[in-house]
Amino acid sequence: MNHEVALIPGDGIGPEIVCAMRRVIEAAGVDITWRELQAGASVVDRYGTPLPDHVLDVIREVGVAIKGPITTPIGSGFRSVNVSLRRAFDLYACVRPCASMPGDGSRYRDVDVVIIRENTEDLYAGIEFEADDPAAQDVRETVKRDTGRVIPQDACISLKPISRTGSERIVRYAFEYARRCGRSKVTAVHKANIMKATDGLFMRVAREVAAEYPEIAFEDRIVDATCMGLVMHPEDFDVLVLPNLYGDIVSDLCAGLVGGLGMAPGANIGSSCAIFEATHGSAPDIAGKGIANPTAEILSGCMLLDHLGESDAAARIRSAVRATLADGACVTADVRRALTGSTSGAATTDEFTDAVISRL
């Protein structure tokens, strides 16, 4: 069966790893018509925006996309294209599995956790005011009037909206995921001891939803203690569900447990659209050198194939990646360094990709 998939190569290492992912999927014999689209800094001069309307139109039409990372200017400049895509298609669930593979270079063995991150709310909602914005002054006055607390005149302000609706749908997604994938426990992560309103709501809703899934164990934990627990005893965790910002941070931490960012795939899921992408960013420090690890993007491609009903091909690709890493003779510099302390003898992105394809 032919599938249509929107493809955004992105920037930095994006085009290199997206090319690897596409070669592997094609070598596995899956029939995909790729609708290639450009977004990010390179299109701003031409379209006046990093995310032109025609890109959104094609994704809306096709309903499924896979992308490479896109650079976001820090501190100023355009807002994140990644965040804009999640918002445009209401991709409320970010799913990031982190599972050990033999030869992944990690100090940990047998890690198998899945991060389910709320993708639309929280400090990531992007409701922010510069210190001299008149709206910031309105907020200061409202806060002073209603709480007696003074926000300094030179403070910028970010708002953290967390809704009952948003919390309920992400926690329910986590439990449904656990049920569908045969997982046995869900941990809701928060900081409700300090943020009693926002994180308190998230925690209370998680407890309510958990009661509907008696066959799945449930606990809630504070985010800082969760980080320590993940580093000391990752085997205590199974599925984690988190508000947006904690999910962002904890998913990088979990990537570190399974060999680093080059290993961690991801999916952004909404009710009518899904966009797949590696957890990592555009890695400007290694872009253009042909040395990026394409594993995270290839495994994101496997999640795409599962979504398209091509689970046999996905399983064959996962097994080829696993065998290539386990063999250890042809691995990229990040893995090589983790295994041996040196990048000497590391494979390029293309060599690793060829090794995976040869095992399909």
- Closer residue to ligand NAI (CB): 50 or 262: 262
Nearer to ligand NAI (CB atom), residue 284 or residue 345: 284
Q: Which residues bind ligand NAI (CB under 6 A)?
A: 13, 17, 69-72, 82, 261-262, 277, 280-286, 292-293, 296, 334
Q: Is 224 a catalytic residue?
A: yes
Is the CB of 17 or the CB of 59 nearer to ligand NAI?
17
How is 18-76 classified by DSSP, letter by letter? HHHHHHHHHHTT--EEEEE---SGGGHHHHSSSS-HHHHHHHHHH-EEEE------SSS
Smallest distance, Å, CB 293 to ligand NAI?
A: 4
**Catalytic position from the list 199, 248, 252, 334:** 248
CB of 291 to ligand NAI, least distance (A): 7
Task: Using DSSP, state whether 129 is helix, strand or coil.
Answer: strand
Q: Nearest to ligand NAI by Cβ — which residue?
A: 281
For the sheet containing 267-269, what is the strand order?
Answer: 32-36, 3-8, 64-67, 274-276, 267-269, 93-99, 112-118, 239-242, 185-190, 217-222
112 is catalytic: no
Distance in Å, CB of 278 to ligand NAI, minimum: 7
Contact 16, 282 (CB under 8 A): no
Please, which residue, 18 or 205, has the CB nearer to ligand NAI?
18
How far is the C-alpha of 135 from the C-alpha of 147, rounded, in Å? 18
Site of tokens 């009710």:
271
Q: In angstroms, give the least distance from the CB of 148 to ligand NAI.
A: 38
**Phi, psi for 116 (deg, rounded to 5):** -115, 110
- Token couple for 102: 């033999």
Catalytic, out of 224, 289, 312, 327 = 224
Tally Cβ neighbours within 10 Å of residue 137.
15
Q: Which of 92, 104, 122, 124 is catalytic?
A: 124
Catalytic residue, from 11, 191, 246, 252: name it.
Answer: 191
Q: Is 185 a catalytic residue?
A: no
Q: How near is the Cβ of 124 to ligand NAI at its closest, in Å?
A: 12
* Shorter beta-carbon distance to ligand NAI: residue 22 or 280: 280
Residue 313 token pair: 């091909």
Please give the Cα distance from 53 to 46 (Å, whole number): 13
Active site residues: 124, 191, 224, 248
